Amino acid sequence: MKNLMKRVVLLILVLVLAIPSSTVMAEKASSKNITIGEYIELLMKAMKVTINETENQTYITAAVSTGVLKTVGEFKVEEEMTRTECAVLTNRADIYLNENEAIILYDNIVNFKRISDLSKITKKYRDDVVQVFGKGIIVGYTNGKCTQDREFRGSNKITYDGAKAVITKLTSINKRSVMSPDGQLTRTTNLPVNAKEFDYILASFPNGFYEMKYLYELTKSSAEFILFKDYCPPVKVKNDPSYNEAINLYTWCENVEKNLYYRLNVNYKTIDSKWKKNLNNTFSTDKSKSIESYIKEMKKNKVVIKTSVISVEPSSLYLTGTYNLRAYVKFKVTSANDLSKNLIYGDIYMLKLQKNQWHEGYYDIELNGYYNGKGYEYRVSSDWLDDFMKAQRKTKILKPAFNKNGNDDFANGYYYFK
Protein backbone atom coordinates (compact mmCIF):
# COMPACT_ATOMS: atom_id res chain seq x y z
CA MET A 1 0.00 0.00 0.00
CA LYS A 2 2.83 2.35 0.92
CA ASN A 3 4.58 1.63 -2.36
CA LEU A 4 1.35 2.38 -4.23
CA MET A 5 0.99 5.72 -2.44
CA LYS A 6 4.61 6.59 -3.26
CA ARG A 7 3.94 5.85 -6.93
CA VAL A 8 0.82 8.05 -6.93
CA VAL A 9 2.66 10.94 -5.27
CA LEU A 10 5.55 10.56 -7.70
CA LEU A 11 3.15 10.54 -10.64
CA ILE A 12 1.42 13.71 -9.38
CA LEU A 13 4.79 15.46 -9.01
CA VAL A 14 5.77 14.50 -12.53
CA LEU A 15 2.47 15.85 -13.89
CA VAL A 16 2.74 19.09 -11.91
CA LEU A 17 6.28 19.66 -13.12
CA ALA A 18 5.29 18.82 -16.67
CA ILE A 19 2.47 21.41 -16.87
CA PRO A 20 4.61 24.57 -16.65
CA SER A 21 7.23 22.93 -18.82
CA SER A 22 4.73 22.30 -21.63
CA THR A 23 3.35 25.83 -21.23
CA VAL A 24 6.84 27.30 -21.57
CA MET A 25 7.46 25.14 -24.64
CA ALA A 26 4.21 26.37 -26.20
CA GLU A 27 5.09 29.98 -25.43
CA LYS A 28 8.54 29.54 -26.94
CA ALA A 29 7.03 27.99 -30.05
CA SER A 30 4.53 30.82 -30.52
CA SER A 31 7.14 33.51 -29.97
CA LYS A 32 9.72 31.88 -32.22
CA ASN A 33 10.30 33.51 -35.60
CA ILE A 34 8.73 31.65 -38.50
CA THR A 35 10.64 30.68 -41.64
CA ILE A 36 9.42 31.43 -45.15
CA GLY A 37 8.90 27.72 -45.80
CA GLU A 38 6.86 27.28 -42.64
CA TYR A 39 4.70 30.26 -43.54
CA ILE A 40 4.11 28.95 -47.05
CA GLU A 41 2.91 25.66 -45.53
CA LEU A 42 0.48 27.56 -43.27
CA LEU A 43 -0.71 29.61 -46.26
CA MET A 44 -1.37 26.57 -48.47
CA LYS A 45 -3.35 24.90 -45.70
CA ALA A 46 -5.34 28.08 -44.99
CA MET A 47 -6.04 28.50 -48.73
CA LYS A 48 -7.14 24.84 -48.88
CA VAL A 49 -4.88 24.16 -51.83
CA THR A 50 -4.76 20.53 -53.01
CA ILE A 51 -1.33 19.10 -52.18
CA ASN A 52 0.42 16.48 -54.30
CA GLU A 53 2.02 14.24 -51.67
CA THR A 54 4.19 12.48 -54.28
CA GLU A 55 6.31 15.58 -54.89
CA ASN A 56 9.44 16.45 -52.91
CA GLN A 57 8.56 20.07 -52.13
CA THR A 58 4.82 19.68 -51.85
CA TYR A 59 3.91 23.08 -50.34
CA ILE A 60 6.48 25.00 -52.41
CA THR A 61 5.17 23.46 -55.62
CA ALA A 62 1.60 24.29 -54.57
CA ALA A 63 2.65 27.88 -53.85
CA VAL A 64 4.04 28.19 -57.37
CA SER A 65 0.83 26.78 -58.87
CA THR A 66 -1.28 29.40 -57.05
CA GLY A 67 1.03 32.32 -57.83
CA VAL A 68 2.08 32.80 -54.21
CA LEU A 69 5.61 32.03 -55.43
CA LYS A 70 6.81 33.02 -58.89
CA THR A 71 9.44 30.28 -58.95
CA VAL A 72 10.52 27.46 -56.65
CA GLY A 73 13.70 29.32 -55.76
CA GLU A 74 12.27 32.84 -55.48
CA PHE A 75 12.87 32.99 -51.70
CA LYS A 76 15.24 31.13 -49.39
CA VAL A 77 12.55 29.12 -47.62
CA GLU A 78 14.81 28.02 -44.77
CA GLU A 79 15.40 31.62 -43.64
CA GLU A 80 13.30 33.50 -41.10
CA MET A 81 10.61 35.56 -42.80
CA THR A 82 10.62 39.36 -42.75
CA ARG A 83 7.49 41.52 -42.66
CA THR A 84 8.12 42.54 -46.28
CA GLU A 85 8.34 38.91 -47.43
CA CYS A 86 5.18 38.18 -45.47
CA ALA A 87 3.44 41.09 -47.23
CA VAL A 88 4.45 39.78 -50.67
CA LEU A 89 3.31 36.21 -50.03
CA THR A 90 0.10 37.28 -48.29
CA ASN A 91 -0.92 39.75 -50.99
CA ARG A 92 -0.42 37.15 -53.69
CA ALA A 93 -2.50 34.71 -51.64
CA ASP A 94 -5.23 37.35 -51.31
CA ILE A 95 -5.22 37.91 -55.08
CA TYR A 96 -5.63 34.15 -55.56
CA LEU A 97 -8.45 33.89 -53.02
CA ASN A 98 -10.31 37.13 -53.68
CA GLU A 99 -9.16 38.20 -57.17
CA ASN A 100 -8.36 41.59 -55.72
CA GLU A 101 -5.35 42.92 -57.58
CA ALA A 102 -5.73 46.58 -56.68
CA ILE A 103 -7.31 48.71 -54.00
CA ILE A 104 -8.99 52.10 -54.20
CA LEU A 105 -6.76 53.41 -51.42
CA TYR A 106 -3.52 52.62 -53.23
CA ASP A 107 -2.88 56.07 -54.72
CA ASN A 108 -3.80 57.90 -51.50
CA ILE A 109 -1.50 55.71 -49.41
CA VAL A 110 1.38 56.47 -51.75
CA ASN A 111 0.62 60.14 -52.45
CA PHE A 112 -0.04 61.04 -48.82
CA LYS A 113 2.92 58.92 -47.65
CA ARG A 114 0.84 56.93 -45.16
CA ILE A 115 3.70 54.39 -44.84
CA SER A 116 6.54 56.45 -43.43
CA ASP A 117 9.32 53.98 -44.24
CA LEU A 118 8.10 52.76 -47.63
CA SER A 119 11.29 54.02 -49.29
CA LYS A 120 13.31 51.56 -47.16
CA ILE A 121 11.47 48.60 -48.66
CA THR A 122 12.88 46.89 -51.77
CA LYS A 123 11.28 48.66 -54.72
CA LYS A 124 9.89 45.55 -56.40
CA TYR A 125 7.99 44.63 -53.23
CA ARG A 126 6.50 48.05 -52.43
CA ASP A 127 3.26 47.44 -54.33
CA ASP A 128 2.53 44.35 -52.23
CA VAL A 129 3.31 46.22 -49.01
CA VAL A 130 0.98 49.09 -49.97
CA GLN A 131 -1.78 46.64 -50.84
CA VAL A 132 -1.70 44.57 -47.64
CA PHE A 133 -1.54 47.85 -45.71
CA GLY A 134 -4.53 49.28 -47.54
CA LYS A 135 -6.48 46.04 -47.21
CA GLY A 136 -6.01 46.19 -43.44
CA ILE A 137 -4.08 42.92 -43.28
CA ILE A 138 -0.69 44.23 -42.08
CA VAL A 139 -1.02 47.82 -40.86
CA GLY A 140 2.33 48.44 -39.19
CA TYR A 141 3.04 50.51 -36.09
CA THR A 142 1.90 53.94 -34.96
CA ASN A 143 4.25 56.90 -35.25
CA GLY A 144 2.65 58.56 -32.24
CA LYS A 145 -0.24 60.77 -31.19
CA CYS A 146 -2.20 62.34 -34.05
CA THR A 147 0.23 61.10 -36.69
CA GLN A 148 -1.24 60.28 -40.10
CA ASP A 149 1.35 57.77 -41.22
CA ARG A 150 2.52 54.45 -39.82
CA GLU A 151 5.83 52.59 -39.84
CA PHE A 152 5.83 49.23 -41.63
CA ARG A 153 9.22 47.94 -40.37
CA GLY A 154 9.65 45.67 -43.37
CA SER A 155 12.99 44.18 -42.28
CA ASN A 156 11.63 42.95 -38.92
CA LYS A 157 11.02 39.22 -38.50
CA ILE A 158 7.60 37.67 -37.78
CA THR A 159 6.76 35.14 -35.08
CA TYR A 160 4.46 32.14 -35.42
CA ASP A 161 1.70 34.02 -33.59
CA GLY A 162 2.18 37.04 -35.80
CA ALA A 163 1.99 34.89 -38.92
CA LYS A 164 -1.19 33.19 -37.72
CA ALA A 165 -2.78 36.59 -37.04
CA VAL A 166 -1.98 37.66 -40.61
CA ILE A 167 -3.51 34.48 -42.03
CA THR A 168 -6.66 35.05 -39.96
CA LYS A 169 -7.08 38.46 -41.63
CA LEU A 170 -6.32 36.92 -45.01
CA THR A 171 -9.05 34.30 -44.77
CA SER A 172 -11.59 36.34 -42.75
CA ILE A 173 -12.14 39.68 -44.44
CA ASN A 174 -14.42 40.90 -41.65
CA LYS A 175 -11.48 40.65 -39.21
CA ARG A 176 -9.28 43.01 -41.19
CA SER A 177 -8.50 46.49 -39.92
CA VAL A 178 -10.60 49.23 -41.50
CA MET A 179 -8.72 52.00 -43.28
CA SER A 180 -10.01 55.50 -43.99
CA PRO A 181 -10.46 56.66 -47.63
CA ASP A 182 -7.10 58.43 -47.45
CA GLY A 183 -5.28 55.41 -46.01
CA GLN A 184 -5.29 55.88 -42.22
CA LEU A 185 -6.06 53.22 -39.62
CA THR A 186 -9.45 53.67 -37.94
CA ARG A 187 -10.74 52.35 -34.61
CA THR A 188 -14.09 51.18 -33.21
CA THR A 189 -13.39 51.01 -29.47
CA ASN A 190 -13.29 53.60 -26.66
CA LEU A 191 -14.93 56.07 -29.01
CA PRO A 192 -15.53 59.78 -28.33
CA VAL A 193 -19.02 60.70 -27.12
CA ASN A 194 -19.75 62.37 -30.44
CA ALA A 195 -18.34 59.62 -32.68
CA LYS A 196 -21.54 59.68 -34.77
CA GLU A 197 -20.65 63.19 -35.93
CA PHE A 198 -17.77 61.75 -37.97
CA ASP A 199 -17.56 59.24 -40.80
CA TYR A 200 -14.88 57.35 -38.85
CA ILE A 201 -12.55 57.72 -35.87
CA LEU A 202 -8.80 57.38 -36.38
CA ALA A 203 -6.64 55.08 -34.28
CA SER A 204 -3.89 57.61 -33.58
CA PHE A 205 -6.19 60.52 -32.69
CA PRO A 206 -7.39 60.76 -29.06
CA ASN A 207 -11.00 61.45 -28.13
CA GLY A 208 -10.15 65.03 -27.16
CA PHE A 209 -9.48 65.86 -30.81
CA TYR A 210 -13.04 64.90 -31.72
CA GLU A 211 -14.82 66.13 -28.59
CA MET A 212 -13.59 69.71 -28.87
CA LYS A 213 -16.63 71.88 -29.62
CA TYR A 214 -17.20 73.26 -33.08
CA LEU A 215 -17.13 77.03 -33.41
CA TYR A 216 -20.87 77.14 -34.07
CA GLU A 217 -21.53 75.40 -30.76
CA LEU A 218 -20.15 78.43 -28.90
CA THR A 219 -22.42 80.84 -30.75
CA LYS A 220 -25.63 82.56 -29.59
CA SER A 221 -28.03 83.98 -32.17
CA SER A 222 -31.35 85.82 -32.36
CA ALA A 223 -32.15 83.78 -35.47
CA GLU A 224 -32.73 80.04 -35.56
CA PHE A 225 -29.75 77.95 -36.70
CA ILE A 226 -30.27 76.41 -40.12
CA LEU A 227 -28.46 73.21 -41.15
CA PHE A 228 -26.14 73.68 -44.16
CA LYS A 229 -26.41 77.47 -43.80
CA ASP A 230 -25.24 78.23 -40.27
CA TYR A 231 -23.79 74.89 -39.23
CA CYS A 232 -23.08 71.34 -40.31
CA PRO A 233 -21.11 68.59 -38.49
CA PRO A 234 -18.50 66.62 -40.47
CA VAL A 235 -20.68 63.54 -41.04
CA LYS A 236 -23.26 65.60 -42.96
CA VAL A 237 -20.95 67.90 -44.91
CA LYS A 238 -21.20 65.94 -48.15
CA ASN A 239 -25.00 66.36 -48.02
CA ASP A 240 -24.57 70.13 -48.02
CA PRO A 241 -25.98 71.48 -51.34
CA SER A 242 -23.03 73.90 -51.57
CA TYR A 243 -20.54 71.07 -51.18
CA ASN A 244 -19.83 69.64 -54.62
CA GLU A 245 -17.15 67.98 -56.64
CA ALA A 246 -15.51 71.35 -57.29
CA ILE A 247 -14.43 71.42 -53.66
CA ASN A 248 -11.05 69.77 -53.42
CA LEU A 249 -10.80 68.67 -49.80
CA TYR A 250 -7.23 67.43 -50.05
CA THR A 251 -6.06 70.69 -51.64
CA TRP A 252 -7.55 72.51 -48.67
CA CYS A 253 -5.73 70.16 -46.30
CA GLU A 254 -2.47 70.74 -48.16
CA ASN A 255 -2.80 74.53 -47.95
CA VAL A 256 -3.71 74.42 -44.25
CA GLU A 257 -0.69 72.22 -43.57
CA LYS A 258 1.58 74.62 -45.48
CA ASN A 259 0.09 77.57 -43.62
CA LEU A 260 0.78 76.01 -40.23
CA TYR A 261 4.20 74.80 -41.32
CA TYR A 262 5.42 78.27 -42.28
CA ARG A 263 3.92 79.91 -39.20
CA LEU A 264 5.31 77.33 -36.78
CA ASN A 265 8.74 76.81 -38.36
CA VAL A 266 10.55 80.14 -38.18
CA ASN A 267 14.12 81.20 -37.53
CA TYR A 268 15.07 84.87 -37.16
CA LYS A 269 18.46 84.11 -38.74
CA THR A 270 17.11 82.61 -41.96
CA ILE A 271 13.60 84.04 -42.48
CA ASP A 272 13.40 85.79 -45.85
CA SER A 273 11.17 87.01 -48.69
CA LYS A 274 10.66 83.44 -49.91
CA TRP A 275 9.16 82.46 -46.53
CA LYS A 276 6.94 85.55 -46.67
CA LYS A 277 5.72 84.71 -50.19
CA ASN A 278 5.09 81.05 -49.38
CA LEU A 279 3.05 81.91 -46.29
CA ASN A 280 1.10 84.66 -48.04
CA ASN A 281 0.16 82.27 -50.85
CA THR A 282 -1.70 80.03 -48.39
CA PHE A 283 -4.16 82.82 -47.50
CA SER A 284 -7.20 83.83 -49.53
CA THR A 285 -6.40 87.56 -49.06
CA ASP A 286 -3.12 89.46 -49.32
CA LYS A 287 -1.42 89.62 -45.91
CA SER A 288 2.02 90.68 -47.13
CA LYS A 289 2.11 93.93 -45.08
CA SER A 290 1.19 92.27 -41.78
CA ILE A 291 3.67 89.45 -42.51
CA GLU A 292 6.41 92.05 -43.08
CA SER A 293 5.60 93.63 -39.71
CA TYR A 294 5.76 90.23 -38.06
CA ILE A 295 9.18 89.50 -39.60
CA LYS A 296 10.61 92.75 -38.24
CA GLU A 297 9.33 92.05 -34.73
CA MET A 298 10.37 88.41 -34.62
CA LYS A 299 13.91 89.29 -35.76
CA LYS A 300 14.20 91.78 -32.90
CA ASN A 301 12.89 89.14 -30.51
CA LYS A 302 15.23 86.46 -31.96
CA VAL A 303 12.45 83.91 -32.38
CA VAL A 304 13.07 80.31 -33.38
CA ILE A 305 10.15 77.84 -33.52
CA LYS A 306 10.05 74.31 -34.88
CA THR A 307 7.35 71.67 -35.25
CA SER A 308 7.35 67.96 -34.55
CA VAL A 309 3.89 67.08 -35.93
CA ILE A 310 1.33 68.90 -38.09
CA SER A 311 -1.77 66.84 -38.88
CA VAL A 312 -4.67 68.35 -40.79
CA GLU A 313 -7.51 65.84 -40.74
CA PRO A 314 -9.83 65.77 -43.82
CA SER A 315 -12.61 63.94 -41.96
CA SER A 316 -12.95 66.94 -39.61
CA LEU A 317 -14.32 69.35 -42.27
CA TYR A 318 -17.38 71.13 -40.86
CA LEU A 319 -19.47 74.20 -41.58
CA THR A 320 -19.99 77.16 -39.28
CA GLY A 321 -21.08 79.77 -41.80
CA THR A 322 -17.78 79.00 -43.53
CA TYR A 323 -15.91 75.70 -43.75
CA ASN A 324 -13.32 74.74 -41.12
CA LEU A 325 -10.72 72.00 -40.84
CA ARG A 326 -9.34 70.76 -37.54
CA ALA A 327 -5.60 70.34 -37.10
CA TYR A 328 -3.26 69.03 -34.42
CA VAL A 329 0.14 70.66 -34.02
CA LYS A 330 3.10 69.97 -31.76
CA PHE A 331 5.77 72.64 -31.67
CA LYS A 332 8.26 74.36 -29.38
CA VAL A 333 9.95 77.73 -29.06
CA THR A 334 13.70 77.22 -28.87
CA SER A 335 14.67 80.90 -28.88
CA ALA A 336 12.98 84.21 -27.90
CA ASN A 337 14.08 87.18 -25.84
CA ASP A 338 10.53 87.80 -24.63
CA LEU A 339 7.96 84.98 -24.55
CA SER A 340 5.13 87.42 -23.81
CA LYS A 341 5.38 88.97 -27.27
CA ASN A 342 3.60 87.56 -30.32
CA LEU A 343 5.96 84.76 -31.39
CA ILE A 344 3.74 83.29 -34.11
CA TYR A 345 2.29 85.14 -37.06
CA GLY A 346 -1.44 85.92 -36.82
CA ASP A 347 -4.15 86.42 -34.23
CA ILE A 348 -2.65 84.17 -31.57
CA TYR A 349 -3.62 83.15 -28.07
CA MET A 350 -1.33 80.45 -26.71
CA LEU A 351 -1.41 79.23 -23.13
CA LYS A 352 1.78 78.80 -21.11
CA LEU A 353 4.33 78.78 -23.90
CA GLN A 354 7.72 77.95 -22.40
CA LYS A 355 11.10 77.84 -24.05
CA ASN A 356 12.33 74.41 -25.17
CA GLN A 357 9.10 72.67 -24.14
CA TRP A 358 6.74 71.00 -26.60
CA HIS A 359 3.35 72.65 -26.92
CA GLU A 360 0.35 70.72 -28.28
CA GLY A 361 -2.90 72.13 -29.56
CA TYR A 362 -6.03 71.45 -31.59
CA TYR A 363 -6.99 74.34 -33.88
CA ASP A 364 -9.94 74.89 -36.22
CA ILE A 365 -8.73 76.65 -39.35
CA GLU A 366 -11.21 78.77 -41.30
CA LEU A 367 -11.24 78.15 -45.04
CA ASN A 368 -12.22 79.86 -48.24
CA GLY A 369 -12.98 78.36 -51.61
CA TYR A 370 -13.64 80.65 -54.54
CA TYR A 371 -13.44 80.84 -58.31
CA ASN A 372 -10.69 83.18 -59.53
CA GLY A 373 -11.70 83.23 -63.20
CA LYS A 374 -9.36 80.38 -64.15
CA GLY A 375 -10.14 77.78 -61.52
CA TYR A 376 -11.00 77.23 -57.90
CA GLU A 377 -8.75 78.41 -55.06
CA TYR A 378 -8.75 76.57 -51.73
CA ARG A 379 -7.02 78.65 -49.10
CA VAL A 380 -6.95 79.72 -45.46
CA SER A 381 -9.14 82.73 -44.68
CA SER A 382 -8.22 83.39 -41.03
CA ASP A 383 -4.91 83.56 -39.14
CA TRP A 384 -6.58 82.82 -35.79
CA LEU A 385 -5.00 80.19 -33.45
CA ASP A 386 -6.47 80.01 -29.97
CA ASP A 387 -5.81 77.52 -27.16
CA PHE A 388 -9.16 78.49 -25.64
CA MET A 389 -10.92 76.07 -27.96
CA LYS A 390 -9.11 72.96 -26.72
CA ALA A 391 -10.70 73.39 -23.29
CA GLN A 392 -14.19 73.56 -24.81
CA ARG A 393 -14.93 69.85 -24.70
CA LYS A 394 -18.41 68.39 -24.94
CA THR A 395 -19.82 65.36 -23.14
CA LYS A 396 -22.59 64.66 -25.65
CA ILE A 397 -23.76 65.59 -29.14
CA LEU A 398 -25.09 69.13 -28.94
CA LYS A 399 -28.28 70.23 -30.69
CA PRO A 400 -29.86 73.64 -31.39
CA ALA A 401 -32.06 74.93 -28.56
CA PHE A 402 -33.81 78.17 -27.58
CA ASN A 403 -33.44 80.09 -24.31
CA LYS A 404 -36.57 82.20 -23.93
CA ASN A 405 -35.21 84.05 -20.88
CA GLY A 406 -32.59 85.85 -22.95
CA ASN A 407 -29.63 87.82 -21.59
CA ASP A 408 -28.05 91.27 -21.86
CA ASP A 409 -27.32 90.79 -25.55
CA PHE A 410 -30.55 89.01 -26.50
CA ALA A 411 -33.42 90.37 -24.38
CA ASN A 412 -36.06 88.43 -26.34
CA GLY A 413 -34.26 85.12 -26.05
CA TYR A 414 -31.58 83.45 -28.14
CA TYR A 415 -30.74 80.25 -29.97
CA TYR A 416 -27.76 78.21 -28.84
CA PHE A 417 -26.41 74.66 -28.83
CA LYS A 418 -27.33 72.53 -25.83
Model confidence over 264-307: pLDDT tens digits?
Answer: 999 999 999 999 999 999 999 999 999 999 999 999 999 999 99
Q: Give domain status of residue 15, yes or no.
A: no
Phi, psi (5° rounding) for residue 328?
Answer: -110, 135
Domain identity same for 152 and 252: no
Q: Give domain status of residue 89, yes or no.
A: yes
**Residue 19 has what pLDDT?**
44
Domain identity same for 171 and 270: no
**How many other CB atoms sit within 10 Å of the CB of residue 316?**
26
Domain identity same for 236 and 363: yes
**Residue 401 has what pLDDT?**
97
Query: Based on the structure, what is the number of domains in the chain?
Result: 2
**Residue 111 has what pLDDT?**
94
**Residue 9 has what pLDDT?**
43
**How many other CB atoms sit within 10 Å of the CB of residue 50?**
7
**Residue 145 has what pLDDT?**
98
Domain identity same for 170 and 211: no
Contacts of 295 (CB under 8 A, 6+ apart): 271, 276
Q: Give domain status of residue 112, yes or no.
A: yes
Q: Which of 133, 159, 175 is the last residue of a domain?
A: 175
Domain identity same for 211 and 312: yes
Domain identity same for 265 and 394: yes
Contacts of 121 (CB under 8 A, 6+ apart): 84, 129, 152, 154
Q: Give domain status of residue 199, yes or no.
A: no
**Residue 408 has what pLDDT?**
92
pLDDT tens digits, one per residue of 249-270:
999 999 999 999 999 999 999 9
Domain identity same for 223 and 131: no
The domain that holds 290 is classified in CATH as 3.10.450
Domain identity same for 287 and 374: yes
Domain identity same for 136 and 237: no
Q: Give domain status of residue 415, yes or no.
A: no
Q: Collect the ranges in the chain with pLDDT lower than 50.
A: 1-2, 4-6, 8-28
Domain identity same for 310 and 360: yes
| pTM, full prediction | 0.89
Residues 177, 139 contacting (CB under 8 angstroms): yes
**Residue 369 has what pLDDT?**
75
Domain identity same for 81 and 218: no
Which residues span the domain enclosing 346?
A: 207-403
384-386/347-349 β-pairing: parallel
